[in-house]
Structure 1
Amino acid sequence: MGKKTIKINLVDSYDTIEDKFLFHFLGEHYNFLVSEEPDFLFYSCVGEEFKKYKNCVKIFYTGENAVPNFNECDYAIGFDHIVFEDRYLRFPYGFEAVSSELNNMCDITKTLAVRKFCNFVYSNSSYGEGAKLRQEFCKKLMKYKAVDCPGKVLNNMENAINPRRDGNWSSGKIDFLKNYKFTIAFENTSSIGYTTEKLCQPLQARSVPIYWGNPEAARDFNPRAFINCHEYESLDKVIEKVIELDRDDEKYLEMLMQPPLNPGFEEKFSKETVANFLVNIVEKGNKPYFKNTNVWLKKPTLGKRIVQNIFSVKNKENNKVVKILGIELKFKRRIG
């Protein structure tokens, strides 16, 4: 019996259907018909085209630090530690390329301690607190030793790595990182749950990440396998740790030998986990959930302000607003 055909579309995304890993997983179960009248609409956070589509199930997926709005989407895949029945899956961007093989440390040898010092690969120089902080850190670290910067930011190497949107960028970047003992791995922003390929890729390359971003990255990754900037009181203290490891091969190799993935990582973030989440959505059929879009909420009234105050939850630590408008969400993390 052949695979069922489903009508889908993808909007407001940097990726295409051919590129996005979600469709690779879902394609093992269904054939796709790309349609302007889809039953299932996938969208991300780089536009608002999704709003014009009616009478379809909307599935939000983000590679950016954005919280899903369940008054706009029916289902979501993101970074936050949210529990919302079968409508949400935490599956951070970059985790799809990580497998349990990463914990097989048989490729770690003493020669890895005599590689080039450190690299810094970035194209974004201004968006987010981390963009500025990582440049500050890199410049401080350069006072100790040269740091190779093949990206657009602080560039001091020409044509050393493929452009960001090149189809071979990810594998090419990992191959580049393999030449270095350390990789500066700062996210654009810092938020609980928001870990991306910036931590995964150095680990895949066996290059010790100097990581800043998700303060709770150790929930998914072995804290002894990377330098976590959030554990230090200043960037200067982080640099002292980098220098200590750089000057002591035994201590460096001890960190490099640590299995990077915490127990249970592969079960939580496997291809099957994503596929099962998506198949469950499809098998329910084109049945969107109710979304609270009452016109009166858009009017500048006291009632609107009251509703906004009741149904917007601000995470003070991360300066994020989660708009839930009538939908009760249960958070595993503390919200103040």
Structure 2
Amino acid sequence: MSAKIKKPFKIWFSDMWPNFDFQNNYFTIYLSQHFDIELNPKPDFLIHSVYSKNYLKFNCYKICITGEDTRPNFSESDFHIGFDYNDSPRYLRWPLFLMNKYSPDYLIEEKDVNLIFKKKQRFCSFVVSNSYANERINFFNKLSEYKRVDSGGKCLNNIGSPVVDKFEFISKSKFNIAFENYSSSGYTTEKIFDAFIANCIPIYWGNPCVEADFNEKAFINVHKYNSIDEVIAYIKYLDRNDDVYKSVLSEPAFLDNKVPEQFQLKKFVEFFAFIFEQSNQKKKVYKFAHKGIYLWYHIKAELNRYKAKLARFKNSLLSKVS
């Protein structure tokens, strides 16, 4: 990083999610370990999300962070952090599960599969708040025809009331239904990550390219099956064969049991080092000088999204047929 960059870096937050702590959050914790930062309501760098439009009132560099499946808008924000597969140097693919209270490093710790298996008390768990995602509702109902699926969320709750501790609840299950709200390329949320943390086998649907994030041998990737009936047949097979189940459970969440380079904290730090370097330039010069380049990056991202829509349409047809 250039020695000419002024310090400290004045940052602020706007339009963030409910209960966001301005003082103690993922950004302040990790950025303060590598940079001299100052929280200032008149910032040089504004970190904002998508829950309102107050960020438009600020005249500074803007960094948009989203946990939603939204496309980057470089005409409003100079930098973006989200789920897209986007090659722009002004974009960081940093799925929301990386801001989980558990670090990805937790998933490479050695585990005692036999001990984990002995603690399993339930067949399958399901923890969801909203009821508008038809794919996972239909899957829950279909799988429940085989065995009871314990639902501990607000949606389809069958245990009396929503659980207080999701991880404790799902850790007692052999499987966990880890379906996203919808299917979109790159959109891998905390759902599969939480299942891995709780040491159960995720049944995953959502990002059709999820194998780029996790070891496909460690979970059930619904996208790879021709029908929901095929998925459930495989779940039954694992459920009835303990040794095979444990062999899947023993698989590391990440390939070669290593946190992928794209999920290592240094990527996050390098991205913000690149952002802070822009303080050497006049505001907005960087953005407009490269407008054509970033339009191309946006087109590439939209092509990836279109491919995901085709995959989603295919899965939708298969669900209707089954």
TM-score, normalisation: structure 1: 0.78
Alignment of 1:76-115 (within 5 A): 76-85=80-89, 87-96=90-99, 97-109=102-114, 112=117, 114-115=120-121
Tell me the SS of whatever aligns to 1:135: helix
Partner of 2:307: 317
Partner of 2:3: none
Structure 2 residue identity aligned to 1:216: C
For residues 4 and 173 of structure 1, do their structure 2 counterparts lie closer, same or farther at Cα, with a shift above 3 Å needed?
A: farther
Structure 1 residue 187, shift from structure 2 partner: 0.6
Moved more, 107-116 or 40-49: 107-116
Partner of 1:117: 123
Structure 2 residue identity aligned to 1:117: F
CA distance in 2, matches of 1:158, 1:50: 42
Partner of 1:134: 136
For residues 18 and 182 of structure 1, do their structure 2 counterparts lie closer, same or farther at Cα, with a shift above 3 Å needed?
A: farther
For residues 146 and 251 of structure 1, do their structure 2 counterparts lie closer, same or farther at Cα, with a shift above 3 Å needed?
A: same
Partner of 2:227: 234
Moved more, 42-51 or 208-217: 42-51
TM-score, normalisation: structure 2: 0.81
CA distance in 1, matches of 2:255, 2:16: 31
Q: Which has the higher helix share?
A: 2
For residues 72 and 260 of structure 1, do their structure 2 counterparts lie closer, same or farther at Cα, with a shift above 3 Å needed?
A: same
CA distance in 1, matches of 2:279, 2:209: 36
CA distance in 1, matches of 2:244, 2:143: 19
1:268 matched to 2:262? yes
Tell me the SS of whatever aligns to 1:41: strand
CA distance in 2, matches of 1:218, 1:48: 35
Partner of 2:30: 25
- Count how many residue pairs are aligned between Structure 1 and Structure 2: 285
CA distance in 2, matches of 1:57, 1:223: 39
Unaligned runs of 5+ in 2: 1-5, 289-294, 311-322
Partner of 1:278: 272
Asked if 2 retains the 8 angstrom alpha-carbon contact of 1:62 and 1:78, the reply is: yes
1:195 matched to 2:188? yes
CA distance in 2, matches of 1:160, 1:191: 28
1:282-335 C-alpha deviation (Å, 9 max, x unpaired):
24327433557xxxxxxxxxxxxxxx9xx8655433359xxxxxxxxxxxxxxx
Asked if 2 retains the 8 angstrom alpha-carbon contact of 1:82 and 1:88, the reply is: yes
CA distance in 2, matches of 1:288, 1:318: 35
Structure 1 residue 229, shift from structure 2 partner: 0.5
Tell me the SS of whatever aligns to 2:186: coil
Runs of 4+ aligned residues of structure 1 deviating over 6 Å after TM superposition are none
Asked if 1 retains the 8 angstrom alpha-carbon contact of 2:154 and 2:162, the reply is: no
CA distance in 1, matches of 2:236, 2:283: 55
For residues 115 and 19 of structure 1, do their structure 2 counterparts lie closer, same or farther at Cα, with a shift above 3 Å needed?
A: farther
Unaligned runs of 5+ in 1: 163-171, 293-307, 321-336
CA distance in 2, matches of 1:230, 1:202: 18
Asked if 1 retains the 8 angstrom alpha-carbon contact of 2:11 and 2:37, the reply is: no
CA distance in 1, matches of 2:283, 2:181: 33
Structure 1 residue 19, shift from structure 2 partner: 5.2
Tell me the SS of whatever aligns to 1:285: helix
Question: Which residue, 60, 69, 76 being the options, matches 1:72?
Answer: 76
CA distance in 2, matches of 1:120, 1:197: 14
RMSD: 2.4
